Amino acid sequence: MTLTQAEFHPIVELAADKTADGFLCLDVAGQILYANDAAARALSETTTTLSDKTIFQIAPEMNPSLWRELWKEIRGRSVFAFEFAFASGPDHPIQVDLSVHYLKPATRELACVFFRDIEERKRLQNLQQEFVSTASHELRTPMTVIREGVSQVLEGLRGDINDSQRRALSIALNGIDRLGRIIDELLDISKIESGRLTLKRDRIDLTAVTREIAATFQSLATDRRLELRVTTPAGPVLVYGDRDRLIQVMTNLVGNSFKFTEKGHIQIGLERRGADAQCSISDTGIGFEPKEAEKIFNKFEQLGQTTVTGEKGTGLGLSISRAIVELHKGRIWARSEGPGKGATFTFALPMQAGRDVFRDHLAPMLREVSRRGGSLSTVVFRLKQGELSPLAGHEGPGLLDILDQIVRKRSGRLTDLIVKDQDTMYLALQSMAAREALRIAEHAANEFKDLLKSENRSDQWRLAFDVSGFPEESDNEDVYLEKLFRREAA
Amino acid sequence: MTTPWRLLLVDDEDMILELLSLRFKAQGYEIQTAMDGELAYAAAQAFNPHAIICDVVMPKVDGPTFCRRMRAEGNNVPFLFLTAKGQPRDKVEVLSAGGDDYLVKPFDPNELNARILAIIRRRYPPAS
């Protein structure tokens, strides 16, 4: 069934007039040919007054040359989206998300503009975030009361109970704990969806994290008579990541394996693969249909499977894990040969070099300084192994942690950007001229060398550093970055 | 130890106070309770507790403010906060106000017991 041409036209007109997004139609000269209700409301006009105006009257940022550029873009790409400002009455700019579409229905070229007030969107996001956060906060107090009350009866603090009563209360307690997990995970999901989950990234050794996770699960494995196998490279596998969040991912994946495996083994494996650190958790559990592999990462997706332990999940763990891995610019996937044949969950994280991480963080800081004025200094510390210590190589990261503490103490600030590699530490000191940074670096280096000397290890390690200042050295951000890293390569 | 440990419980929810009182009394603690930071301050002066379990959000004077006031006066009584939030920012807030430890509601009673014992043991090491 389709609409007739005669029916279609008024429907489209109605849609354009009444849709919640602002909609404008303009010609090449910038004259407004059509404006819908939402556009008129947003710009404090009426549809009639708007159609007497041009784009230049409603957009203070627009000028004829920019307008020509925009036309060039949309003729080439047919659609173009960006953030923009309109004037809603005198002295009242509104920020909008805007997309321009190119149309040439007859002889005339048209620019069709859809826009939406960003502040409105942000306000709604805040409202949603606040709601989830308040709701979860308010739920915790009554939950505490219920949990504690049930626990006290269960523990016999309120007198003797029989086995059947004990059983009922244990079930109740499990339900309460599950509710608590759901609330935590809903909070996480809400943060992820509003883009507010931010990572506290630092250098982490995934080898150590993997072994820690294995140790945590060992007693559960023993209880459940499952074999827990761990394979990791001998040395550290360094990534830049949020330690707590990555532990959350691994705990979720290993926990899932335990939930779905009755007998056999669970294997946690870590390896370097190309530029990635890859971590796999495989089990001999119930598995899944291969075609479900994508679906299981969806919110509230549980494939209708029952766990071996009777424990119920929230259906949110895997989708949170995926979001965390993707925030780390990594990938996560699942494989199974089929039901009953076990499953393997793998995530891969880029083993980004410290200098790339530093560069990513430093670039916006430099832009901010060029825009607002002020200064910024960078210091690159390099640890070099002395010839007498062929075995001391693995100590580099630990020594840099000590240097990090010394520097923070010296600068007296916690807000500076510090990125560490295997043997290099990058430091950006905001609002500080190179002279001052040099003084701090010298003091820190001396304190560090004294420390090595006091341990009779001066021969094993040498520390070099390099200080440069922005904008003294070069007032162009790109040139500054180039120079900084070229000098390092030399 | 001939005298029992004195424990001050601070929470604006009387249900929580009642339940926690019973739990800790059953283990031999001597208990006093207060429903906001102001009353808690007065109670702390008179009762001189060995440790304080304290809610964060309360009317009049909140938990961190109460704790800061005690610390400003040089009182180092161990403080364990019960927070309903559990966001990293909130944990930092209670610890930087002078708290020794915190637990997120709803907590596991065994963990609460263990943590209270731990901070008491740290503050009053058994005489060797």
Q: CA torsion A48→A53→A55→A59, rounded to 10°?
A: -90
For chain A, the residues whose C-beta falls within 8 A of a C-beta of chain B are: 137, 140-141, 143-149, 151-152, 155, 157-158, 176, 180, 184, 200
Residue type, A155: E
| Residue pLDDT, tens place only, A104-141 | 988 999 999 999 888 877 788 778 777 777 777 788 88
Q: Please state, as a whole number, how many other Cβ atoms lie within 10 Å of the Cβ of residue A451.
A: 15
Check if the beta carbon of residue A403 is closer than 8 Å to that of residue A483: no
C-alpha closest to that of A253 among A343, A368, A176, A139? A343
Phi, psi of A228 (to 5 degrees): -105, 115
pLDDT value at residue A222: 93
Taking CA–CA distances from B24, the nearest residue in chain A reads A157
- Dist CA B67 CA B75 (whole Å): 9
**CB contacts, 8 Å: B85 with chain A:** 137
**CB contacts, 8 Å: A184 with chain B:** 86
Asked if B105 lies within 8 A of A149 by C-beta distance, the reply is no
In sequence order, which residues have a C-beta less than 8 Å from that of residue A126 and are 6 or more positions away? Answer: none
**CB contacts, 8 Å: B107 with chain A:** 144, 147
Q: What is the ipTM of this complex?
A: 0.75
Q: What is the pTM of this model?
A: 0.58
pLDDT value at residue A416: 74
| Residue pLDDT, tens place only, B93-120 | 888 899 999 998 888 888 999 999 999 9
pLDDT value at residue A249: 95
Please check the confidence at residue A331 and state whether its pLDDT lies above 90: yes
In sequence order, which residues have a C-beta less than 8 Å from that of residue A482 and are 6 or more positions away? Answer: none
Check if the beta carbon of residue B111 is closer than 8 Å to that of residue B104: no
Asked if A140 lies within 8 A of B13 by C-beta distance, the reply is no
Average pLDDT, integer, range A415-432: 82
pLDDT-derived band at B75, boundaries 50, 70, 90? very high
Mutate to test the interface with A, among B16, B19, B20, B104 (most CBs of A within 10 A): B19
**CB contacts, 8 Å: B13 with chain A:** 141, 145
- Dist CA A4 CA A11 (whole Å): 11
**Least confident among A404-408, A412-416, B82-86, B89-93:** A412-416
**A384: buried, middle or exposed (CB in 10 Å: 19+, 13-18, 0-12)?**
exposed
pLDDT value at residue A141: 83
Give how far B46 is from chain A: nearest CA, Å: 28
Asked if B85 lies within 8 A of A137 by C-beta distance, the reply is yes
Question: Could you report how far apart the first and last alpha carbons of chain A are, in Å?
Answer: 71
| Cβ pairs A/B, distance under 8 A | 46
Asked if B19 lies within 8 A of A148 by C-beta distance, the reply is yes
Task: Please tell me which of A12-26, A70-84, A193-207 the model is most confident about, judged by mean pLDDT.
Answer: A12-26
Closest in A158, A180, A200 to B106, CB measured: A180
Task: State the maximum Cα–Cα separation within chain B, in Å, rounded to a whole number.
Answer: 43
- Dist CA A408 CA A425 (whole Å): 13
pLDDT value at residue B127: 67
Task: State the maximum Cα–Cα separation within chain A, in Å, rounded to a whole number.
Answer: 92
**CB contacts, 8 Å: B26 with chain A:** 157
- Dist CA A436 CA A418 (whole Å): 17
Asked if A145 lies within 8 A of B22 by C-beta distance, the reply is no
**CB contacts, 8 Å: B63 with chain A:** none
| Residue pLDDT, tens place only, A168-194 | 898 888 888 888 888 888 888 877 877
Average pLDDT, integer, range A374-403: 77
Give how far B85 is from chain A: nearest CA, Å: 6
